[in-house]
Homo-oligomer: A and B are copies of this chain.
Amino acid sequence: MAVYTEVSDEDLNAFVAQYDLGGVLSCKGIAEGVENSNFLLVTGKGPYILTLYEKRTRREDLPFFLGLMQHLADKGIACPLPVQGMDGQSLRELCGRPAVIVTFLAGMWPRRVMPQHCAELGQALARLHLAVADFRLERPNALSLGGWKDLFEKCAPRADEVSHNLRATLEAELAELEAHWPKDLPAGVIHADLFPDNVFFRGDTLSGLIDFYFACNDFLVYDIAICMNAWCFEIDGSFNATKARLLLTSYQKVRPLSKEELEALPWLCRGGAVRFLLTRLYDWLNHPPGAFVKPKDPLEYLRKLRFHQTVRGLGGYCLGDGGSYDV
């Protein structure tokens, strides 16, 4: 669950009075998300989402995140739009935390990912990558190679408590990634956390993307690698090539990938798996006993990493030859 901060009705009413939204009819904490406190706020003008940013979201990054949502919404990408108060500001304080109200997005995230979801996802991701081309703010990806090494150092002493030989596996993998990580690919703002629970659908049709709080600048194709990890494996750990193929072909209908991007994909998938393996491992080793939020299983990503390690080229994903990839 994710309601870390209790908001009193007085504080909430005073907060909402700064907007042209009518009175507060209801405000209920939402049990999803793990980083921030989210509430479904119903006012005289309808439903909205109220987010209070907790300590893992850095204040200085908020103008980037909110500016990005505004930019994307202006470009017609369905995503939450920060609502401005009567003073023109969308970012203010509530209960000592930075807080925003954003528009409500209809749709539900898919509990069971079907191939059609991946086709929709690919198109939406490519449209996102085109839409950010003229977004001016930048935010370096703190969770790329350098960040992984820092996380690894913190987790290394106790990594083998979680899985036999995990420390050595990670150490070797980080060295490999460092040697093979691409240096020069088309880059821009990526979502960087586009898991199924951040993508809403109505029926089979994608209705919007949410949760841009890991967005950063990196190689665009790395966003695809994160999605392949998050969307194209079954619960039993098996890789679903149909889903991956739909993700990539739909993406390329909107934004074709270069030969270099396609060739880099297997390494980016390994990197993506390591990124989530490490953050989950860190949370696993460091969550306070009795914490509200159950940490996610790091070993899910160790299994995904092992799969990627066996892949040689795009053929290993049943995605055809990199150079002549059939769009």
Q: Which residues of B contact A110 (CB under 8 A)?
A: 9
Q: Are A8 and B111 in contact (CB under 8 A)?
A: yes
Given A30-B28, A30-B30, A42-B47, verify A12-B294 contact (CB < 8 Å): no
Q: Quick one: which of B2, B23, B28, B111 contacts A40, CB cutoff 8 A?
A: B28
Partner-contacting stretch, out of A100-108, A154-162, A234-242: A100-108
A 190-202 to B, binary, CB cutoff 8 A, 1 in contact else 0: 0000000000011
Q: How far apart sit A231 and B26, CA to CA, in the bound complex (Å)?
A: 21
Are B47 and A7 neighbours in the complex by a CB distance under 8 Å? no
Q: Are B26 and A104 in contact (CB under 8 A)?
A: yes
Contact with B along A38-59 (1 / 0, CB 8 A): 0010100001000000000000
- The docked-state distance in angstroms from the alpha carbon of A25 to that of B111 is 15
In the assembled complex, the Cα of A104 lies from the Cα of B40 at a distance in Å of 13
A292 contacts the other chain (Cβ, under 8 Å)?
yes
Residues of B within 8 A of A32 (CB): 28-29
- A12, B6: Cα distance in complex, Å: 29
A10 surroundings in chain B (CB, below 8 A) = 112
- Give A262-286 as 1s and 0s: 1 = Cβ < 8 Å from B's Cβ atoms: 0000000000000000000000000
How many identical subunits does the complex contain? Answer: 2
For residue A30, which residues in chain B have a CB less than 8 angstroms away from its CB?
28-31, 40
A30: nearest residue on chain B (CB-CB)? B28
- Residues of A97-144 at the interface with B, using a CB-CB cut-off of 8 Å, are 104-108, 110-112
Whether the pair B292, A290 counts as a contact (CB closer than 8 A) is no
A151 at interface by CB-CB < 8 Å: no
Q: Which of A10, A23, A26, A105 has the most CB of B within 10 A?
A: A26
Give, as a whole number of angstroms, the nearest-CB distance from A114 to chain B. 9
Q: Is A88 an interface residue (CB 8 A)?
A: no
Q: Mark A284-324, 1 if CB is under 8 A from B, else 0.
A: 00000111101000000000000000000000000000000
3 tightest A-B CB contacts, nearest first:
A1-B1, A29-B31, A25-B106
A contact set with B: CB distance below 8 Å: 1-3, 6-10, 12-13, 23-32, 40, 42, 47, 104-108, 110-112, 201-203, 289-292, 294
